[in-house]
C-alpha cells in the first residue's frame, strides 16, 4: 500500500491512436479533506472505452478530460478519513474519482458497496456501470420477446458478456462475436451463447451472420460499428431493434467514417435504431442492481475480468483495451 498519492494526468490529446506519451505518471499531493469531505483510498479502478472519447476536445455527453489534469474513472475504495456524517471510516464506496491512489470527495455521487456480497472489483463490472448498460440497452430499446434472436458484438467484453447472458435469461436465441478463439469458446462453452464466431477469421461477417442467424436478427446490441454493424443491418428482421451502445471500432479514427451501407433498410424493414447513455436510466439501473446479485448467486450471470496491477500500468492497459487485449472487464488494482 503506497503512502504517496501517485496520479495519472492527461499530458496531451491523442490524434488517432492513443499512446503512452499522452499520459503522465506523477507523485501528486495527498488530498486534504475539508469540512463535509471524505478521503478515499482507491483500491480498484475501471478502464472503459468511453474514456477515449473524453481525451478529445469537443462537446459530448460528458465534458472532455482537461490537459494537465488527473483523469477520471469509476473507482472502488475505502473511506480512511471522514468529515461527512453519511460516511464512516472503513466504509467501501464506488463512484467517479481519479486515476490516483487517494481521492477526496464531498460524497455526492458515491454509493456504498458491501465487500461481503461480492469482490470489490465486481462493482465496476457486472455489479456496476457495464452490467447496468447491458440491462438498460436491452430492456429500454431491445424490448426482448421470448424466442427472438439477439446478436451482440464485442460479446466477451464487460457489457457484451452480460447482454448475452441476460438474453439467455429472457429466453432469446443469442449469437455473439469476439476477436479471439478463446473468447469465442468462452461465450458458447461457459456463458451459454447459442453460437459465436471470431470476426477476425470468419471471412465476410454478413455471411457468417446469415449462417448463424438463419431466421434473421430481431435485436442487434451494437458495441462496435463499422463492418460488423453493416453486416448485422442486412440480417435484421422486420420491426427489429438496433441498440446503439457504442462504436469502439471508430474511437481512434482521425476522421468520422461514412455510415453503414444499407440505411434504406431501416425504412423498408421498419427498424428502430436508437442510442442511449446508461446514466439517463436510473430506474433501470436500480432494477438491474436489485436483480443482478441474485442472478450472480444462482450462477445465471458469470463474470470474468482482466486485472492489471499498479496505477503506472493503467495507460498500457487502456491502450490494450482498445485493441482487444482484455478478456472480460478491464480493471486496474491500485494498492
Ligand X SMILES: NC(=O)c1ccc[n+]([C@@H]2O[C@H](COP(=O)([O-])OP(=O)(O)OC[C@H]3O[C@@H](n4cnc5c(N)ncnc54)[C@H](OP(=O)(O)O)[C@@H]3O)[C@@H](O)[C@H]2O)c1
Q: Would you count residue 206 as binding ligand X (CB under 6 A)?
A: no
Contact between 91 and ligand X per CB under 6 A: no
CA 282/CA 245 separation, integer angstroms: 16
Give the residue, chosen from 212, 305, 326, 331, that forms a contact with ligand X under the rule CB under 6 A: 326
Q: How many angstroms separate the CA atoms of 27 and 141, rounded?
A: 44
- How many binding residues for ligand X (CB under 6 A)? 30
Among 180, 230, 287, 335, binds ligand X (CB under 6 A): 180
Of 74, 98, 130, 240, the residue at the interface with ligand X (CB under 6 A) is 130
276 is a site residue for ligand X (CB under 6 A)? yes
Quick count: other Cβ atoms within 10 Å of Cβ 2?
Answer: 13
Does residue number 284 form part of the binding site for ligand X (CB under 6 A)? no
Residue 160 within binding range of ligand X, rule CB under 6 A: yes
Is 49 among the residues that bind ligand X (CB under 6 A)? yes
Instruction: Select 159 or 209, whichever has its Cβ closest to ligand X.
Output: 159
Q: Is 240 in the site for ligand X (CB under 6 A)?
A: no
Rounded to whole angstroms, the Cα distance separating 153 from 134 reads 12
Spatial contact of 289 and 119, defined as CB atoms under 8 Å apart = no
Answer whether 317's CB lies under 8 Å from 47's CB.
Answer: yes
Nearer to ligand X, 121 or 156 (CB): 156
Reference 125, options 308, 282, 334, 330; nearest CA is 330
Q: 10 vs 245, which CB is nearer to ligand X?
A: 245
- Minimum CB separation of residue 251 from ligand X in Å reads 7
DSSP letters for 130-188: HHHHHHHHIIIII---TT-EEEESSTTSHHHHHHHHHHHHTT-EEEEEESSHHHHHHHH
CB of 11 to ligand X, least distance (A): 23
DSSP summary character for residue 258: P
Per CB under 6 A, does 245 bind ligand X? yes
Binding ligand X by CB under 6 A: which of 70, 321, 332, 334?
321
Of 2 and 201, nearer to ligand X (C-beta) is 201
C-alpha cell at 59: 462537446
* Position 260 contacts ligand X (CB under 6 A): no
Residue 242 exposed, middle or buried by CB count within 10 Å (0-12, 13-18, 19+):
buried
Cα distance between residue 326 and residue 225, in whole Å:
19
Distance CA 9, CA 313 (A): 13
Determine, following the binding rule CB under 6 A, whether residue 249 of this chain makes contact with ligand X: yes
Q: Closest approach of Cβ 104 to ligand X, in Å?
A: 26
Residue 142 within binding range of ligand X, rule CB under 6 A:
no
**Which residues are near ligand X by CB under 6 A?**
48-50, 130, 133, 154, 156-160, 178-180, 183, 223-224, 245-246, 248-249, 276-278, 321-322, 324, 326, 329-330
Amino acid at each position: 500500500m503506497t503512502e504517496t498519492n501517485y496520479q495519472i494526468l492527461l499530458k496531451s490529446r491523442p490524434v488517432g491512436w492513443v499512446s503512452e506519451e499522452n499520459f503522465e505518471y506523477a507523485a501528486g499531493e495527498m488530498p486534504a479533506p475539508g469540512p463535509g469531505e471524505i478521503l478515499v483510498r482507491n483500491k480498484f479502478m475501471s478502464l472503459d472505452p468511453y474514456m477515449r472519447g473524453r481525451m478529445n476536445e469537443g462537446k459530448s455527453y460528458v465534458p472532455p478530460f482537461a490537459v494537465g489534469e488527473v483523469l477520471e474513472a469509476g473507482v472502488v475504495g475505502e473511506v480512511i478519513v471522514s468529515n461527512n456524517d453519511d460516511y464512516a471510516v472503513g466504509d467501501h464506496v464506488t463512484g467517479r474519482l481519479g486515476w490516483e491512489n487517494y481521492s477526496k470527495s464531498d460524497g455526492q455521487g458515491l454509493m456504498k458497496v458491501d465487500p461481503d456480497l461480492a469482490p470489490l472489483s465486481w462493482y465496476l463490472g457486472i455489479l456496476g456501470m457495464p452490467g447496468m448498460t447491458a440491462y438498460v440497452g436491452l430492456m429500454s430499446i431491445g424490448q426482448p420477446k421470448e424466442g427472438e434472436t439477439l446478436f451482440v458484438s464485442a460479446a466477451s467484453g464487460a457489457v457484451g458478456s452480460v447482454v448475452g447472458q441476460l438474453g439467455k435469461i429472457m429466453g432469446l436465441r443469442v449469437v455473439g462475436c469476439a476477436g479471439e478463439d478463446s473468447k469465442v469458446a468462452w461465450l458458447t462453452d461457459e456463458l451459454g451463447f447459442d453460437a459465436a464466431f471470431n470476426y477476425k477469421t470468419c471471412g465476410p461477417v454478413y455471411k457468417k451472420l446469415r449462417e448463424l442467424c438463419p431466421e434473421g436478427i430481431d435485436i442487434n446490441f451494437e458495441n462496435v460499428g463499422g463492418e460488423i454493424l453493416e453486416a448485422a443491418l442486412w440480417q435484421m428482421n422486420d420491426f427489429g431493434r438496433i441498440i446503439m451502445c457504442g462504436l469502439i471500432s471508430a474511437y481512434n479514427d482521425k476522421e468520422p467514417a461514412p455510415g453503414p451501407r444499407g440505411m434504406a433498410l431501416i425504412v423498408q424493414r421498419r427498424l428502430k435504431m436508437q442510442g442511449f447513455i446508461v446514466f439517463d436510466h436510473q430506474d433501470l439501473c436500480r432494477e438491474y442492481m436489485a436483480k443482478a446479485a441474485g442472478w450472480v448467486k444462482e450462477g445465471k450471470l458469470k463474470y470474468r475480468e482482466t486485472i492489471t496491477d499498479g496505477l503506472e500500468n493503467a495507460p498500457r492497459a487502456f491502450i490494450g483495451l482498445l485493441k482487444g487485449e482484455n478478456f472480460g472487464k478491464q480493471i486496474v488494482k491500485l494498492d
